Amino acid sequence: MRLQKFLVTLAVLWSMAVILLGAYTRLTDAGLGCPDWPGCYGFLQVPQHDAHRELAEARFPDRPLEADKAWNEMIHRYFAGGLGLLILALLINGWRLRQRRLPMVLSSLVLFQAALGMWTVTLALHPVVVMGHLLGGFALLSLLAVHWWQQQPRPVWQISQTMKLMFWPVLLVVLGQIALGGWTSANYAALSCIQLPLCEAGWADRLNFDEAFSLHLGYDSYEFGVMSLDARATVHVMHRVWAMVTALVVVGYLWMLWRQGVALLRQFSLLIGLLLLVQIGLGIANVALHLPLVNAIAHNFVAANLLMCLVCSGYLLHRSKESVYAKNSAVTTNCQQSVA
């Protein structure tokens, strides 16, 4: 059990590093820094010697080697591979401990993530694949955090069924906002609107939903985007509008979470609320400061942690069990009502 706790703790921290490196790779336009997969120009590392560079550029004449971008991409792949090995260790040790279901899900998800990483390159940064890769990384972090909580003692408290049911629509709203953020980034639409609160004057007349949410199949490369400016502005505006909806929904959820009167859930309420405020501030700064790299990476990372904490709060809501005292009190009340 101690080994599993250590492995899952390390995996959570490692997946955070992978998310940070993935955001850095995407935001430095290094997603095609290596035009093949899983290696780089046919090598297991970035070509360094002159002879290797010449061979690399002969193999991919349309994609000249940019060492900085190639290293960004390969370091991300090395860390992602390390995470895969950690999850394999979780599966092997979990099988021994009869903790099999979630480690199997994690193993399947990390394999799918590897496939998405390959398709990101082979499909030349297709926005659907890039967005799916982002969501998959966030899902891995959240499920690893849930597995961490599975190693802890089961909480004992009384939670209303309404509170448990409320979690699911809130999760869907937050996932929708993250997907919109991923779609905005994947289509290079982050700077399509540089004024607050929504966009430049006349934005409503330029909305183009058909193009903004089209799959745009058939292009040789999606690097730097293929959408028109109006379509990108539409994506950006929808990300901002849904951000307002998400903020209201999450605040309502946090208020309900606080009202449960449980210390741990109140701590989660405060933590998620703080992450929400930071995320709003980072989003505003992205616009006001024209997407500085550190700020944009932080915006991505805080979103991942907000989702992780939300999922963990939902897991604790559903995992909790009533205390013996609470059950006996309920039985006594029912008996008294029957006698009356």
DSSP characters over 185-196 = HHTT-TTS--SS
To the query of whether residue 54 is one of the catalytic residues in this protein, the response is no
Q: Which of 66, 73, 200, 322 is catalytic?
A: 73
Tokens matching residue 105 = 């899900």
Judging by beta carbons within 10 Å of its beta carbon (0-12, 13-18, 19+), is residue 145 exposed, middle or buried?
Answer: buried
At 321, is the pLDDT very low, low, confident or very high (cuts 50, 70, 90)? low
Round to whole Å and give the CA distance between 211 and 193.
17
The verdict on whether omega for the bond into residue 127 sits within 30 degrees of 0, i.e. cis, is: no
Domain boundaries, the chain: 1-152, 157-340
Instruction: Specify the pLDDT at position 339.
Output: 45
Instruction: Specify the pLDDT at position 333.
Output: 44
Mean pLDDT of the chain: 91
pTM of the model: 0.91
At 154, is the pLDDT very low, low, confident or very high (cuts 50, 70, 90)? confident
Q: Which residues contact 23 (CB under 8 A, 6 or more apart)?
A: 296, 297, 300, 301
Instruction: Specify the pLDDT at position 332.
Output: 42
Average pLDDT over residues 317-340: 52
